[in-house]
């Protein structure tokens, strides 16, 4: 990769037709239908905020699920069927696989306590109804309820250690 801003793939995002890209055959990442619906909602509500990362030959390195959602007529209508793509210089297969895995793993996961604080804020301070959280954040009824009132969440005070039955991340 070339140093400097102009050498970064994101500095040269281009809009391409969906059929110019294709899935790779090794991606171990799977997104459940609920999260796919949330991804669709995200693109429809906020627009394309991340490009697909692909090799010059069209094979997707990162963004398979965004590419999948782009086939939806409502998503396609946003941009006339085009998708943003950041091309990476042709990579050796092992480097491409490593890049895919790094992209997948670097996304992280939500911690329970910070997510509970966000849910409570959205409900108590911002006045959002629980239905809004379910629709906009892709949450389940019970998940909203538990995070809003912290039921079922482990607590501790002072320097008490957690028991062996529950290990915080």
Return per-residue pLDDT of the chain as tens, 169 residues. 678 898 888 888 999 999 999 999 888 888 888 889 999 999 999 999 999 999 999 999 999 999 999 999 999 999 999 999 999 987 878 788 888 888 777 776 667 888 888 888 888 888 888 888 888 777 888 988 888 886 545 554 555 555 566 656 6
Query: What CATH number is given to the structural domain containing 56?
Result: 3.90.1530.10
**In Å, what is the CA distance from 17 to each residue of 66, 85, 125?**
13, 10, 42
pTM over 0.85: no
- Separation between Cα atoms, residue 8 and residue 28, nearest integer Å: 26
Asked if residue 140 belongs to a domain, the reply is: yes
Asked if residue 66 belongs to a domain, the reply is: yes
Give yes or no: residues 19 and 92 share one domain. Answer: yes
Give yes or no: residues 66 and 23 share one domain. Answer: yes
Give yes or no: residues 13 and 95 share one domain. Answer: yes
- Separation between Cα atoms, residue 101 and residue 28, nearest integer Å: 8
Structural domain boundaries enclosing 126 = 112-149
Domain count, the chain: 2
Q: In the 8-state DSSP scheme, what is residue 84?
A: E
């Amino acid at each position: 990769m070339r140093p400097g801003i102009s050498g970064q793939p994101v500095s040269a995002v281009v809009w391409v037709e969906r059929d110019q890209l294709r899935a790779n055959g090794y991606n171990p990442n799977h997104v459940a239908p609920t999260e796919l619906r949330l991804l669709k909602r995200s693109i429809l509500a906020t627009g394309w905020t991340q490009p697909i990362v692909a090799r010059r030959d069209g094979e997707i390195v990162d963004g398979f699920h965004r590419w999948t959602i782009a086939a939806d007529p409502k998503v396609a209508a946003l941009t006339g069927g085009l998708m943003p793509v950041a091309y990476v210089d042709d990579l050796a297969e092992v480097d491409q696989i490593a890049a895919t895995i790094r992209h997948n793993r670097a996304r992280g996961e939500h911690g329970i306590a910070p997510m509970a604080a966000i849910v409570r804020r959205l409900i108590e301070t911002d006045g959002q109804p629980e239905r809004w959280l379910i629709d906009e954040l892709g949450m389940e009824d019970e998940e909203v309820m538990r995070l809003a009132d912290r039921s079922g969440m482990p607590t501790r005070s002072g320097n008490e250690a957690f028991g062996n039955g529950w290990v915080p991340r």
